[in-house]
Amino acid sequence: MLRLSERSLEAIRRSYKKYPVFFAYLYYDVFHEPEVAEVPYINTAGDFVRGYVLVYWRPRQCPAVHIVGDVDSARLPDVDCMTVHLETWRQVELPDGAERTPALTMTCGEDCRERARDILARGSWSVRRSSREDYRRLTSPADAEYLSPRCDVYGVYESGVLISAAAVCVHLPEVWLVSGVYTAPQFRGRGAATYLTAYITELATSNGALAALSVAEENAAAVRVYKKIGYRAVRSFWLVTVDRRRAATSSSHPPYINPGVRYLMGQRVLEIQLLNRRETQRKVQVDGSRPIGDVVREYLKEVNAQLNDYSIAVETPRDLVTVDESMSVDRVIRELGSDRVLVIPNVVFGY
């Protein structure tokens, strides 16, 4: 199924080695599960991947699609259902029945190993390797089918009964990707999921790897658990669920929503953000006559972003438009009709 040139394969290797968390799925699927992986589009610059579309064809399940980075062509599979990891500033046309949720990628490295060990020392749960069959009984057959046969499943047991489970489905020397954390409803609120996640995190970091996971932003309880262990958000993206079998309610969703042009006390209010870093979003009140480049430089100092090579783009209802840093804020807003500014590192994943 997978046909990539040696140049593209080498770009994937180099990109993963430099930024393992951001390229883990692409690297793992291409080199470890090529029989179920498809890369219909890849954008490389020299020896680096700037964007890609990855389709993981799960047996008997809806495929998982990743649309990441600078992607000019992002045609989705013609199937009834899929999940889409959408992490691009390009507008992507989504089919009817699409539902999207803002989500975070969170990581935990060697610096939080002691915090994980402290949680383990204060707890008394029994953790051991489990199986997909046990995971299926705990959750549901549908949830278990989403786990690859290569996933390592870990479980918390009480009196021999599995009460909480999680999986490591991408297990590489540089990064472990944790997924499917689930606790039976009657056992929630007792710290089992915290303990289990800390256990896997300690295991990963003790083996020299980063631990990483994805979580919906609205899942405040889970985010609190992960932050307690020491995880921090490093990327934001849209998690999109497409199911044409359900009633269609929408047809097109740009990856960001244009907030419109705002004014405050006679001055302009810009919304500025580093590309795909929602935690760096700021609302900045500025004099409209100022060059937008000066405003962005002040913003980069405020968020402590050490960038020397970047582009300034404004999100319009159709796409991103790169602007010259000498343009005044008033001119940018007047000509483009938007006050949504994105700062894009010229090496997309290099910050």
Handedness of CA 157, 161, 163, 165 (dihedral sign): positive
Q: Of 59-63, 216-220, 245-249, which range is least confident?
A: 245-249
- Where does a domain end: 61, 92, 123? 92
Asked whether residue 172 falls in the same domain as residue 84, the answer is no
Q: What is the CATH number of the domain that holds 273?
A: 3.10.20.90
pLDDT higher than threshold 60 for residue 254: no
Asked whether residue 268 falls in the same domain as residue 293, the answer is yes
Asked whether residue 277 falls in the same domain as residue 302, the answer is yes
Asked whether residue 54 falls in the same domain as residue 135, the answer is no
- Dihedral over alpha carbons 141, 145, 149, 155 (to 10 degrees): -50
DSSP 204-271: HHHTT-EEEEEEETT-HHHHHHHHHHT-EEEEEEEEEEEETTSPP--S-B-SS-----EEETTEEEEE
pLDDT higher than threshold 60 for residue 262: no
**pLDDT of the residue at 272:** 93
pLDDT digits (tens, 9 = 90+) for 28-83: 999 999 999 999 999 998 788 989 999 998 776 789 999 998 887 777 888 888 89
Percentage of residues in the chain with pLDDT exceeding 70? 89
The highest-confidence range among 108-117, 163-172, 256-265, by mean pLDDT, is 163-172
**pLDDT of the residue at 120:** 96
Distance CA 25, CA 167 (A): 15
- Which class for 139: exposed (0-12), middle (13-18), buried (19 or more C-beta within 10 A)? middle
**pLDDT of the residue at 41:** 92
pLDDT digits (tens, 9 = 90+) for 282-334: 888 788 788 999 999 999 988 888 887 889 999 876 678 889 999 988 888 87
Q: What is the CATH number of the domain that holds 111?
A: 3.40.630.30
Asked whether residue 87 falls in the same domain as residue 111, the answer is no
Indicate the pLDDT class of residue 190, thresholds 50, 70 and 90: very high
What Cα–Cα distance (Å) separates residue 276 from each residue in 142, 248, 303, 320?
A: 31, 28, 14, 13
Task: Establish if 278 belongs to a structural domain.
Answer: yes
Give me the mean pLDDT over the 243-252 stretch: 56
Asked whether residue 175 falls in the same domain as residue 116, the answer is yes
Q: Of 14-28, 186-200, 334-348, which range is least confident?
A: 334-348
The highest-confidence range among 202-216, 263-277, 322-336, by mean pLDDT, is 202-216
In a 13 Å sphere around the CA of 154, the CA atoms on its Cβ side amount to 23
What does pLDDT average to over the chain? 85
- Where does a domain end: 35, 59, 92? 92
Q: Is 345 helix (H, G, I), strand (E, B) or coil?
A: strand
Asked whether residue 169 falls in the same domain as residue 215, the answer is yes
**pLDDT of the residue at 156:** 97
Q: How many domains does the chain have?
A: 3
**pLDDT of the residue at 349:** 44
Task: Establish if 350 belongs to a structural domain.
Answer: no
Which of residues 107 and 334 earns the better pLDDT score?
107
**pLDDT of the residue at 246:** 65
The residue segments making up the domain with residue 15 are 6-92
Task: Establish if 251 belongs to a structural domain.
Answer: no
Indicate the pLDDT class of residue 256, thresholds 50, 70 and 90: very low
**pLDDT of the residue at 1:** 55
Q: Which two tokens stand for residue 348?
A: 């997309």
- Which class for 308: exposed (0-12), middle (13-18), buried (19 or more C-beta within 10 A)? exposed
